Amino acid sequence: GENVEQHPSTLSVQEGDSAVIKCTYSDSASNYFPWYKQELGKGPQLIIDIRSNVGEKKDQRIAVTLNKTAKHFSLHITETQPEDSAVYFCAATGGSTLGRLYFGRGTQLTVWP
């Protein structure tokens, strides 16, 4: 099955700086890559996703890039704010097991005011 690796496990940035989280995947057949934000005591919230037919997608301060050849994708958050502090998960699906998401281990992002 699919294996998703996520780095770093923790990330601290100053308010206003950028944050980058990177993930790699193993199944070349995977074609859908969502990112989730999880706040304490809440379920994961979808913040952005990308499909394998595009290389980049942007939504305001958040962007995701995908390199299919290298099998890695990244989340970029610009102009970070304290409310961006949360755990972020990357995921992949679409390979041999359609539907189920394979998640990375998560990144604890802390934005200091």
Partner 1 sequence: GAGVSQSPSNKVTEKGKDVELRCDPISGHTALYWYRQSLGQGLEFLIYFQGNSAPDKSGLPSDRFSAERTGGSVSTLTIQRTQQEDSAVYLCASSLPWGNQPQHFGDGTRLSIL
Binding residues for partner 1, rule: CB under 8 A, are 31-32, 34, 36, 41-46, 49, 51, 89, 91, 93-94, 97-106
Nearer to partner 1, 41 or 113 (CB): 41
Nearer to partner 1, 51 or 61 (CB): 51
- Provide the minimum distance between the beta carbon of 6 and partner 1 in the complex, in angstroms, as a whole number: 8
Say how far apart CA 9 and CA 24 lie, in whole Å: 14
- Provide the minimum distance between the beta carbon of 79 and partner 1 in the complex, in angstroms, as a whole number: 25
Total residues belonging to the chain: 113
Nearer to partner 1, 5 or 17 (CB): 5
- Provide the minimum distance between the beta carbon of 64 and partner 1 in the complex, in angstroms, as a whole number: 13
